[in-house]
């Protein structure tokens, strides 16, 4: 994502690139110290890991800024709590996906789940990504699951099934299932299946190029700069919330 964002930054006069942040002790062209970045930037874009993003959020909050756009996924509950605490002091936009299409899909999934009764329609979420992705299900798949659960008025934790193996028994009514594929260079595929006894409705999105996510991340950075403290999502930035 860093490599995809850099040329877009260079081409947009609304932005001035302060520098990149690498792993502690890392050296390279364009890399600067994390404390220097916090002191100089208006917005930091973070596409690292859940633990690194939570640590950075705390440091930015302690310094009173800058604003933060977080695209990391695979968070532990305590990491999300630390980010929420930081958002009391600084504006943070956190999203598992910066695509306009995916955020439209999330709204459609919630609307469809609301309309189709759980005792008649099963929900299954399928996602596929490249073989270097380290977390599963993807952050986007979990966002889609949350949207489906919200549409049905339940918590995702109470109905999710993140894998099936062996003798699993019959599928409980209302369950939301996840299936994960990791292979090759797949940028990102997400499908939500609503299946009844006699028909199936599938809502899906395919990512063709990472530039789409980079453009969304810069739109998020432009939107979050100067906002009041709080935790926001990409749907806020796109006016879809």
pLDDT per position as a tens digit, 16-75: 999 888 777 665 667 788 899 999 999 999 999 999 999 999 999 999 999 999 999 889
> Is a pLDDT exceeding 90 seen at residue 125?
yes
Class level of CATH domain 2-94+210-237: alpha beta
For the chain, what percent of residues have pLDDT higher than 70? 97
The b-or-e profile of 209-240 (16+ CB within 10 A means b, else e) is eeebbbbbbbbbbebbbeeeeebbbbebbbee
> Is a pLDDT exceeding 90 seen at residue 112?
yes
> Is a pLDDT exceeding 70 seen at residue 236?
yes
Mean pLDDT of the 149-175 span: 96
CA–CA separation, 82 vs 57, rounded Å? 8
pLDDT per position as a tens digit, 187-215: 999 999 999 999 999 999 999 888 888 99
| pLDDT for position 50 | 92
Q: Please check whether the two domains, 2-94+210-237 and 100-207, share a CATH topology.
A: no
| pLDDT for position 30 | 72
CA–CA separation, 72 vs 50, rounded Å? 6
pTM of the model as a whole? 0.74
**CATH fit for domain 100-207, picks 3.40.50.720, 3.40.605.10, 3.90.1150.10, 3.30.360.10:** 3.30.360.10
Sequence-ordered list of residues with C-beta below 8 angstroms from that of 42, at least 6 positions apart, any chain: 65, 66, 67, 225, 226
Catalytic residue IDs: 129, 133
3-state secondary structure of 85: helix
Average pLDDT, the chain: 93
For the chain, what percent of residues have pLDDT higher than 90? 76
CA–CA separation, 20 vs 30, rounded Å? 6
Tokens representing 58 are 């705390």
CA–CA separation, 168 vs 183, rounded Å? 26
Listed residue (237, 69, 70, 71) closest to 138, CA to CA:
71
* Domain map (residue ranges) of the chain: 2-94+210-237, 100-207
- H or E, element range at 78: helix 77-86
């Amino acid at each position: 994502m860093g490599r995809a964002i850099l040329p877009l930054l260079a081409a947009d006069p609304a932005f001035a690139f302060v520098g990149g942040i690498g792993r502690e002790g890392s050296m390279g062209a364009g890399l600067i110290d994390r404390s220097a970045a916090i002191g100089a930037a208006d917005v930091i874009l973070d596409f690292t890991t859940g633990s690194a993003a939570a640590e950075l959020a705390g440091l930015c909050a302690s310094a009173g800024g800058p604003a933060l756009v977080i695209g990391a996924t695979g968070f532990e509950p305590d990491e999300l709590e630390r980010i929420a605490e930081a958002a009391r002091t600084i504006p943070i936009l956190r999203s598992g996906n910066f695509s306009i299409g995916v955020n439209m899909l999330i709204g459609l999934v919630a609307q469809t789940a609301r309309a189709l009764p759980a005792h008649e329609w099963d929900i299954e979420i399928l996602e596929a990504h490249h073989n270097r992705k380290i977390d599963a299900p993807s952050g986007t798949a979990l966002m889609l699951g949350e949207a489906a659960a919200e549409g049905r008025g339940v918590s995702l934790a109470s109905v999710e099934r993140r894998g099936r193996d062996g003798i699993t028994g019959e599928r409980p009514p209302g369950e939301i299932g996840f299936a994960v594929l990791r292979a090759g260079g797949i940028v990102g595929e997400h499908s939500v299946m609503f299946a009844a006894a006699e028909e199936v409705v599938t809502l899906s999105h395919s990512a063709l190029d990472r530039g789409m996510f980079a453009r969304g991340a810069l739109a998020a950075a432009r939107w979050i700069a100067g906002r009041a403290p709080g935790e926001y999502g990409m749907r806020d930035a796109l006016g879809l919330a």
